[in-house]
């Protein structure tokens, strides 16, 4: 979509991301016993922005191995103050804290250069040695299912236990204890929360203005699209069921003023249409109800996604992910 991969992006983007979940839990709610998130008013399913961004981070880390400017700041089970201290150490700052405004600014810039998720999603790095705060150019809203979902619990049996045996100091002690137990007492019950099926829509936004502040480039943008399209193929677990990206629509603002290049460039950065005119379902992208009305959705084939190119505003291009070529193609 661009010829220069190393400079900050110059266009505003919005994107509509469709993914689904079959017989799994797409995003558990810790306050509801890890049951799938729902909107209690209408029973539509929800997936947090944090869950989507976590999988983007995981994909980038899997692909690049935390190297070459594509390291991940928010890693599993780490102390965020460690890379912040490293930023100060690498810029002759104040790793023990108390740095000047200039030292904090240099540390912030170093974090943006090294960590993909910092220059993409932003980060609050005012803890520890303090590397300031970054407002990311890419923002993602909560995902919402197209139709209502019905969370359910499935009881499961585990054919073993994990008991702490008083006085057991060796494997032989545990084996002796097992021999004294009744067979039924060495099994335990559990449960899994899941939904039968749900198709979710995610709305996202990419700001060219904020990209200049973090160095978010065309290469970073291409990495984002690739991650969204492929991340669920690298995030399999029994609890998640079968999850997949089903479609990715990208609205690129290119400007409508052909007679004034500077005006066109400003329009491309600031945008040529309100985001909701592009992303509201039923305007440009339509995900109508089921082909067979009255049937509950149980697969993506139950939907008929329609694209109305005649409704795309002037100065905006619509791109769609091509799963065969693994790239965006102009719609």
State which residues form the domain around 158.
152-191
Mark whether 212 and 286 lie in a shared domain: yes
Mark whether 248 and 280 lie in a shared domain: yes
- Identify the pLDDT of residue 41: 96
Mark whether 89 and 115 lie in a shared domain: yes
- Residue of 84, 141, 153, 135 lying closest to 114 (CA atoms): 84
Mark whether 229 and 327 lie in a shared domain: yes
Phi then psi for residue 235, to 5 deg, are -140, 45
- Identify the pLDDT of residue 189: 86
What's the pLDDT tens digit per position in 62-81? Answer: 999 988 899 999 998 999 99
What's the pLDDT tens digit per position in 90-140? Answer: 999 999 988 999 999 999 999 999 999 999 999 999 999 999 999 999 999
Q: Is the pLDDT of residue 3 over 50?
A: no
Distance of alpha carbon 247 from alpha carbon 97, whole angstroms: 46
Total domains, the chain: 3
Mark whether 168 and 304 lie in a shared domain: no
266 vs 66, residue with greater confidence: 266
Mark whether 147 and 294 lie in a shared domain: yes
Mark whether 114 and 219 lie in a shared domain: no
Mark whether 123 and 217 lie in a shared domain: no
Mark whether 24 and 165 lie in a shared domain: no
Q: Is the pLDDT of residue 172 over 70?
A: yes
Q: Is the pLDDT of residue 202 over 70?
A: yes
Q: Is the pLDDT of residue 276 over 70?
A: yes
Q: Is the pLDDT of residue 2 over 50?
A: no
Q: Is the pLDDT of residue 48 over 80?
A: yes
Contact 38, 44 (CB under 8 A): yes
Mark whether 167 and 22 lie in a shared domain: no
Distance of alpha carbon 134 from alpha carbon 72, whole angstroms: 15
């Amino acid at each position: 979509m661009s010829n220069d991969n190393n400079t900050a992006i110059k266009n505003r983007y919005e994107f509509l991301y469709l993914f689904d979940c079959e017989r799994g839990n797409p995003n558990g709610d810790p306050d509801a016993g890890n049951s799938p998130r729902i909107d209690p008013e209408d029973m539509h399913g929800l997936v947090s922005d944090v869950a989507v961004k976590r999988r983007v981070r995981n994909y980038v880390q899997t692909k690049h191995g935390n190297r070459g400017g594509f390291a991940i700041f928010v890693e599993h089970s780490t102390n965020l103050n460690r890379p912040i201290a490293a930023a100060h150490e690498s810029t002759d700052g104040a790793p023990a804290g108390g740095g000047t405004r200039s030292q904090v600014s240099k540390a912030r810039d170093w974090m943006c250069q090294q960590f993909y998720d910092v220059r993409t999603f932003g980060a609050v790095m005012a803890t520890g040695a303090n590397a300031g705060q970054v407002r990311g150019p890419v923002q993602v809203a909560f995902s919402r299912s197209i139709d209502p979902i019905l969370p359910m619990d499935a009881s499961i049996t585990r054919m073993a236990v994990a008991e702490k045996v008083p006085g057991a100091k060796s494997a032989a002690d545990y084996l002796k204890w097992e021999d004294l137990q009744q067979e039924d007492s060495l099994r335990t019950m559990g449960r899994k929360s899941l939904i039968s099926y749900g198709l979710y829509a995610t709305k996202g936004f990419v700001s060219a203005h904020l990209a200049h502040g973090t160095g978010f480039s065309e290469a970073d943008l291409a990495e984002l699209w690739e991650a969204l399209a492929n991340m669920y193929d690298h995030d399999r677990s029994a609890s998640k069921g079968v999850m997949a990206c089903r479609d990715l629509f990208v609205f690129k603002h290119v400007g409508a003023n052909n007679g004034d290049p500077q005006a066109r460039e400003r329009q491309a950065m600031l945008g040529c249409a309100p985001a909701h005119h592009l992303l509201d379902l039923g305007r440009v992208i339509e995900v109508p109800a089921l082909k067979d009305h009255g049937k509950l959705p149980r697969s993506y084939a139950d939907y008929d996604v329609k694209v109305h190119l005649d409704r795309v505003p002037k100065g905006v291009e619509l791109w769609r992910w091509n799963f065969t070529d693994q790239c965006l193609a102009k719609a």
